[in-house]
Structure 1
Amino acid sequence: MWLTFKNQFFIKFWSPFAAVIAAGILSTYFFGLTGSLWAVTGEFTRWGGHVLQWFGAEPETWQYFKIIGLNGTPLDRVGGVMILGMFGGCMAAVLWANNLKLRMPSSKKRIAQALIGGMIAGFGARLAMGCNLAAFFTGIPQFTLHAWIFAFAAAAGTYIGAKITLLPFFRSTATLKAGGLKKIAKPNPNQVQNRFRLGWVVFAAMIGLSLYVMQSSTKLGIAMFMGMMFGLLIERAQICFTSAFRDMWITGRTHMAKAIILGMAVSVIGIYSYVQLGMTPKTLWAGPNAVIGGLLFGIGIVIAGGCETGWMYRALEGQVHFWWVGIGNIVGATILAYYWDVVAEPLATSWDKVNLLDVFGPLGGLAVTYLLLGLSFVLILMWEKHFFSKQKREQQAVAAKLAALAANKELAANKELATSTQA
């Protein structure tokens, strides 16, 4: 019985459908208990600022850091301890499943894609003041119009990114080596058992650290603990927003995209309840920054191969490619912070912060949000139907062409046989 339970919940990957909905519920409580959103790129930008401080720069004087804050260390901020918790949760899950293995990029081209794509995504995310989380998954339930603008722009960006990655330049050139296929090595039972135990050590350590932090700051302790739960979810269910969009455009698979819509739908009512209790939703500028940032973010994550949550758990699994994606994210976000004064007024700060609850009233804003989520779900279903119908037509056309070629060959062969018989 224990082996079945262990295999089901610690070894096998979880259903992304259920996990994304669980993440939506957890993000709602995260907002209610900490007053912050489940978000990562803002904190990554601060990390870039801290690195610059080590080299004698003064990024704390930049206007962007005056907006998002650069005081203290990551351990003093909700976002910082939450991300630390996410890394801890991811690592525990990786060890439980014995999914830790150093995997190098297949080529230098892949490293360049990871770094450049990560930089584009990081720049775009911070231009829009949020990534696939704060400006999408946890942003839309906040009823902020800018999140909807970002979401549709990011979807368009991933479509463009998918087309770019299909170009010959981006295709990897695999070569076959002599010697045939390598025999797949069986996992060492001792290693599997030791890593499983180590996973529990990491898990227990994160809980202990959360309780310790909670003694000095309840909010920070809760943020760390919930970050750990986010980490477990994204690694065990392999939640990646990049694949949700990319797969929809390239393979027609919409399972993850549907789950994301349902996860937000569940979160919306929870956030609405907290707002009715007096909490203030996070609303940002609904300007061109959301459009441009969303497009860049969508293009960047597809080129890089991972989003802000996807690269975190994959990096801890030992996939070196995603180390470069993470570095690119931080670099791109920091570059945006440096140039913020140039783009802020025309693209962001001169535009209104629009919250649907203010525009349509509490019930009206709730209804409009669910209407837009429903419309998004229908559009996904329509795209899925269109994709597979088109694919079927193309397959039928190819089959008909092959049948015609075969018929022509048979006809030619019959004519040749008739001619030789007459002769």
Structure 2
Amino acid sequence: MTWQTFKQQFLIKFWAPLPAVIAAGILSTYYFGITGTFWAVTGEFTRWGGQLLQLFGVHTETWGYFRLIHLDGSPLTRVDGMMIIGMFGGCFAAALWANNVKIRLPQHRIRIFQAVLGGIIAGFGARLAMGCNLAAFFTGIPQFSLHAWFFAIATAIGSWAGARFTLLPLFRVPVKLQKTFTATALRAQPNRARRRFRLGMLVFWGMLGWSVLTAMKQPKLGLAMLFGIGFGLLIERAQICFTSAFRDMWITGRTHMAKAILFGMAVSAIGIFSYVQLGAEPKIMWAGPNAVIGGLLFGFGIVLAGGCETGWMYRAVEGQVHYWWVGLGNIIGATILAYYWDALSPTLATRWDKINLLNTFGPFGGLLVTYLLLLFALALIIVQEKRFFRRAPAPAAQTSEENT
């Protein structure tokens, strides 16, 4: 295979979602096994919000939530922070390879409203449930935490409500037609594409060098950044977005991304199981109302905003300004939850048990239950797909009726 063929097939073209999501599941498993932590982003975004408030004299280090997730250091000294920096770098390099970086402004002010409000709701819900789409789906479920199943079911319901809500006339942006008198030829601008590809390679090798140099002094931080680069490449090149996975099931009937995510979790689960049997401690959170309420809010919020944590990150570095607002909303919403955590957590979270399926059903029983639940979820997705297209009117039949 020549360099040009490799470049076109694997660096410029989008990747198929199924193998990319499975690769993300494998990568998240090794990330857990090697670093001892898990693939998640909203916890670190919440710390960013807390430390920004500290700059204005707010003593967020005294808040219960920040005592729980720790506010020490900076993104450059925290494992989660370095991983997220790596993710942004990986996303940016991948977008440059494909010449997919361009400033794109929101089409209408209502889109900015959706982005900020949806981001706030999603950020608040994710932190209330102690997990976003990554911390619940690619961490909680493969790590056998019951709270993640509560969150997943509630997210699906919330996304259905969000899909219905965003179809209201309020959110229908009028299309502006512009009259033209001459046809304008499309220009591929190959020179610009080549320059951006080279810049993308510079970013990629620069991030790799940074991670290696860091690993020589602080191995865990350097490895976290290295994994982050891999996560970033995967989500941008395969356009992995949990929002589209949920929203498309209800609006267009497409379920390919949702199925891919299930297979990714299935692959991750067996890897996590192996590490747990070797003595690694899985991340188990409270299986209380916080997981359900948080999931409902998160599902509604990501559809209203148009992007989840992975979705807004790679779209933001591609230059889609809408998702800058989504990210800002996420940080605001997560920080609001941190402020109210001491009031909400005794009733909604900390009084409830942390239920590990491996402890409840035994090691192999918990693994079997997890796979049975994943299989049941796959069956529900297939049923929804068939139901959607069975209800959709056939275009040919509709046209025939109109001509009669």
TM-score under structure 1 length normalisation: 0.93
**Structure 2 counterpart of 1:87, one-letter code:** F
Residue 172 of structure 1 deviates from its aligned partner by 1.1
Corresponding residue of 1:132: 133
| TM-superposition CA deviations, 1:189-243 (whole Å, max 9, x none) | 2211111111111111111110111122111111000000000000000000000
* Residues 1:402 and 2:402 are matched in the alignment: yes
Corresponding residue of 1:416: none
CA contact (8 A) 2:11 2:97 kept: yes
The alignment partner of 1:91 has SS state of helix
- Unaligned 5+ segments in structure 2 are none
| TM-superposition CA deviations, 1:109-139 (whole Å, max 9, x none) | 1111101100000000000001001012221
- 1:24–1:181 CA distance, 2 compared to 1 (3 A): farther
Quick one: distance in 1 between partners of 2:157 and 2:277? Answer: 34
- Unaligned 5+ segments in structure 1 are 407-423
Quick one: distance in 2 between partners of 1:182 and 1:70? Answer: 57
The alignment partner of 2:285 has SS state of coil
**Structure 1 counterpart of 2:3, one-letter code:** W
Corresponding residue of 1:355: 356
Corresponding residue of 1:43: 44
Corresponding residue of 1:228: 229
Residue 320 of structure 1 deviates from its aligned partner by 0.3
- 1:195–1:362 CA distance, 2 compared to 1 (3 A): same
Quick one: distance in 2 between partners of 1:293 and 1:211? Answer: 37
Residue 180 of structure 1 deviates from its aligned partner by 6.0
**Structure 2 counterpart of 1:277, one-letter code:** L
CA contact (8 A) 2:138 2:268 kept: no
Residue 342 of structure 1 deviates from its aligned partner by 1.2
- 1:304–1:386 CA distance, 2 compared to 1 (3 A): same
Residue 4 of structure 1 deviates from its aligned partner by 2.1
Residue 106 of structure 1 deviates from its aligned partner by 0.4
Query: Within 5 A, what are the aligned runs for 1:44-193?
Result: 44-179=45-180, 183=184, 185-193=186-194
Alignment root-mean-square deviation, CA? 1.4
Quick one: distance in 2 between partners of 1:32 and 1:315? Answer: 30
Corresponding residue of 1:304: 305
Residue 182 of structure 1 deviates from its aligned partner by 6.9
The alignment partner of 1:76 has SS state of coil
The alignment partner of 2:328 has SS state of helix
Which one is further off, 85-94 or 173-182? 173-182
Corresponding residue of 1:253: 254
| TM-superposition CA deviations, 1:290-347 (whole Å, max 9, x none) | 0000000000000100000100010000000000000000000000000111110110
- 1:182–1:128 CA distance, 2 compared to 1 (3 A): farther
The alignment partner of 1:233 has SS state of helix
How many aligned residue pairs are there?
Answer: 403
Quick one: distance in 1 between partners of 2:184 and 2:358? Answer: 59
Quick one: distance in 1 between partners of 2:395 and 2:337? Answer: 46
The alignment partner of 1:37 has SS state of coil
**Structure 1 counterpart of 2:262, one-letter code:** I
CA contact (8 A) 2:78 2:221 kept: yes
Residue 188 of structure 1 deviates from its aligned partner by 2.1
Which one is further off, 207-216 or 148-157? 207-216
Quick one: distance in 2 between partners of 1:395 and 1:186? Answer: 35
**Structure 2 counterpart of 1:156, one-letter code:** I
Residue 178 of structure 1 deviates from its aligned partner by 2.1
The alignment partner of 2:349 has SS state of helix
Corresponding residue of 1:320: 321
The alignment partner of 1:343 has SS state of helix
Quick one: distance in 1 between partners of 2:57 and 2:181? Answer: 54
- 1:180–1:307 CA distance, 2 compared to 1 (3 A): farther
Quick one: distance in 2 between partners of 1:200 and 1:184? Answer: 30
**Structure 2 counterpart of 1:359, one-letter code:** T
Quick one: distance in 2 between partners of 1:260 and 1:353? Answer: 24
**Structure 2 counterpart of 1:80, one-letter code:** G
Q: Taking every aligned residue pair, what percent have the same amino acid on both sides?
A: 66
CA contact (8 A) 2:125 2:293 kept: yes
TM-score under structure 2 length normalisation: 0.97
Corresponding residue of 2:385: 384
CA contact (8 A) 2:79 2:224 kept: yes
The alignment partner of 2:209 has SS state of helix
- Runs of 4 or more consecutive aligned structure 1 residues displaced over 6 Å after TM superposition: none
The alignment partner of 2:8 has SS state of helix
Residue 92 of structure 1 deviates from its aligned partner by 0.6
Residue 395 of structure 1 deviates from its aligned partner by 5.5
Query: Within 5 A, what are the aligned runs for 1:259-274?
Result: 259-274=260-275
Quick one: distance in 2 between partners of 1:19 and 1:242? Answer: 17
Residue 390 of structure 1 deviates from its aligned partner by 1.2
Quick one: distance in 2 between partners of 1:73 and 1:257? Answer: 35
Corresponding residue of 2:295: 294
The alignment partner of 1:141 has SS state of coil
Quick one: distance in 1 between partners of 2:312 and 2:182? Answer: 29
